[in-house]
């Protein structure tokens, strides 16, 4: 349910952005409102992305050690 609401809000922000895009250069207030809408849309997208992540899988990824590449590994001949 939360995902659906976020998608709906993102769609509404996109519509508002399209409407303001024409008036963006006409005044500073429109430009500020346009920038605010862009930021709000980005925040909503990030929230949606975080909801779609699998927390169990994220914990596993953090627990597994990553093999770090040393600078000397770049100079080794294969």
Report the pLDDT value the prediction gives residue 8, as an integer from 0 to 100: 94
Taking residues 11-19, what's their average pLDDT? 93
Position 78 pLDDT exceeds 80: no
Taking residues 14-37, what's their average pLDDT? 87
- CB–CB of 37/20 below 8 Å? yes
In this prediction, residue 10 has a pLDDT band, given cuts at 50, 70 and 90, of very high
Taking residues 42-54, what's their average pLDDT? 90
Position 54 pLDDT exceeds 90: no
* Alpha carbons 55 and 53: distance in angstroms, whole number: 6
């Amino acid at each position: 349910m939360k995902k659906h609401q976020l998608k709906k809000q993102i769609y509404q922000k996109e519509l508002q952005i399209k409407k303001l895009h024409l008036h963006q250069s006409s005044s500073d207030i429109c430009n500020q409102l346009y920038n605010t809408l862009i930021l709000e849309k980005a925040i909503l997208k990030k929230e949606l992305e975080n909801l779609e992540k699998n927390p169990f899988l994220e914990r596993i990824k953090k627990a597994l050690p990553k093999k770090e590449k040393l600078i000397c590994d770049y100079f080794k001949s294969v």
